[in-house]
Chain A
Amino acid sequence: MGKVIVFCCDAAYYGLNMVSKLIELPEDVEVVRVPCLGRVEFEAVVRALLDSANVVLAGCHENNCKNIDGSRLAKMRVELLRRMLEFVGMDADRVKHLEISTYEGLKLAEFLNEFAAR
């Protein structure tokens, strides 16, 4: 089991919080709360990868981002990074982008359990 860093925007973070009594997150999962996924720098994700963590970016659905473009920006960054990783022969599946609303905390928690067990 590897370390997982999950960047959550406010919405996804509240979602996770709401289900914290229902479902536990594995120890290796570190939740980093950010105001908006659009703020998560490409560099930060690369850094995390090289420090041998797998990375998840969880935030609003594309058209439901309170900062309008944040979610789309994150999606773009992750997709571009994944394609670059593939190109240099690295495992692209170490980085994921998930669209999670406040009411989908359970979905996120379940995903993280699976992802951490990878």
Chain B
Amino acid sequence: MDLVEVAKKLFDEGVEVIIGYQGNFNVKPIFAKANEVDKLTFNPLCIYNLTNYLTMEGFVDKVDKIGVVVKGCDSKTILQLLDENAFSRDKIVVIGIPCNGVIDVNKIVEEIGEFREFKDNEFKIKWEGDELVVEVNGKSYKFPKDKILLEKCKVCETPNPVVYDVLVGNLIQQPHRKEEFKAVKEIESLSLEQRWEFWIKEFEKCIRCYACRNVCPLCYCESCVLERLEPEFVRRAVRLDENIAYHLIRAYHLANRCVGCGECERVCPVNLPLSLLNKKVAKEVKDLGFSEFLKPIEVGR
């Protein structure tokens, strides 16, 4: 069954709304009702982690049953959210998509042209083995997978959803690759001074828009420490020291929780390498063997 058929069946079974993707080139999230079911799509440009919407204030309480479309990585968020009792399992229907990877759109725009040069419905994109095939304006383009895949997909350990109620398509036999913390190790191999130089350049860029926090599906505390005034652990000032405080605290709050969906890094307007910090924390938490100990206590409220 394809996505639309699956969705139709779910609507018949009483799902009120499905959070999914719409569009071909111009991919956007959609909160589809039964009459919009035909709009649902999935393609290698469906980058967003839609589970972020599940923790919008009051959302799950207002709707009886919500369907949500997840890729492998996104599905890990659901497990984590359930672990934290963010909502009850029977509220949501997980529509899992075994995923061949999503791509960095900037890497194909150069060849195929900008969006304004074609109509969205004249654009087709799909994986064919290790190649991405794009059809637009009557022309067909091919791109090798390694060149255009997002970094996170290159080290994805879970292309198959780790939790789902219905599956669209067949399970993928091989995980793409293994996370070996390459980028983290590269930084670790620098001297202390070099690391400091590297990071101040990054931290200085941060404009503290908090987009990285807002987009994170696991940053959903009703009262965020960044908005607390008494005590004011992080001041509002946008300068190096406060930025460092922000980034240490953000990464710490996601210790043992971050699922590596890469959304924070994607939305950052100044391209901070946030995954690097997240991964470092993930690596150390693993190394320290604290994950089991952390679980029941540290839920980041």
Interface residues of A (CB under 8 A from B): 41-44, 46-47, 50, 69, 72-73, 76, 79-81, 83-91
CB-contact partner of B241 in A44, A50, A81, under 8 A: A50
CB-contact partner of B233 in A43, A79, A91, under 8 A: A43
CB-contact partner of A46 in B187, B193, B203, B233, under 8 A: B233
- Chain B 183-203, CB-CB to A under 8 Å as 1, else 0, gives 010011000111111111001
Give the complex CA separation of A110 and B57 in angstroms.
51
Chain B residues near A90: list those with CB within 8 A: 196
Shortest beta-carbon distance from B208 to chain A in Å? 15
Interface locus among B34-42, B64-72, B158-166, B286-294: B286-294
Known: A50-B244, A80-B255. A89 touches B197 (CB 8 A): yes
Known: A80-B288, A83-B284, A84-B281. A89 touches B293 (CB 8 A): no
Chain B residues near A69: list those with CB within 8 A: 293, 297
Chain A residues near B297: list those with CB within 8 A: 69, 73
Number of interface residues of B (CB under 8 A): 36
Report whether B196 and A44 are in contact in the complex, using a CB–CB cutoff of 8 Å. Answer: no
Chain B: interface secondary structure? helix
Known: A72-B293, A76-B294, A83-B284. A44 touches B195 (CB 8 A): no
Report whether B192 and A46 are in contact in the complex, using a CB–CB cutoff of 8 Å. Answer: no
Interface locus among B20-28, B110-118, B171-179, B246-254: B246-254
Give the complex CA separation of A85 and B294 in angstroms.
20
Give the complex CA separation of A28 and B158 in angstroms.
51
Report whether B288 and A89 are in contact in the complex, using a CB–CB cutoff of 8 Å. Answer: no
Chain A residues near B293: list those with CB within 8 A: 69, 72, 76
Chain B residues near A72: list those with CB within 8 A: 293
Q: Which residue of A lies closest to B195 (CB)?
A: A89
Known: A50-B241, A89-B192. A80 touches B284 (CB 8 A): yes
Report whether A89 and B233 are in contact in the complex, using a CB–CB cutoff of 8 Å. Answer: no
- Residue B257 is within 8 A (CB to CB) of chain A in the complex: no
Chain A: interface secondary structure? helix
Interface residues of B (CB under 8 A from A): 184, 187-188, 192-200, 203, 225, 231, 233-234, 241-242, 244-245, 248-249, 251-252, 255, 277, 280-281, 284-285, 288, 290, 293-294, 297
Report whether B288 and A87 are in contact in the complex, using a CB–CB cutoff of 8 Å. Answer: no
Give the 8 A-B CB pairs with smallest separation, nearest first: A89-B196, A89-B195, A43-B233, A88-B199, A50-B241, A83-B284, A47-B233, A76-B290
Give the complex CA separation of A46 and B252 in angstroms.
11
Can you name 17 A-B pairs with beta carbons within 8 Å? Answer: A43-B233, A46-B233, A47-B233, A73-B297, A79-B288, A80-B255, A80-B281, A84-B280, A87-B280, A88-B195, A88-B196, A89-B193, A89-B195, A89-B197, A89-B198, A89-B199, A89-B200
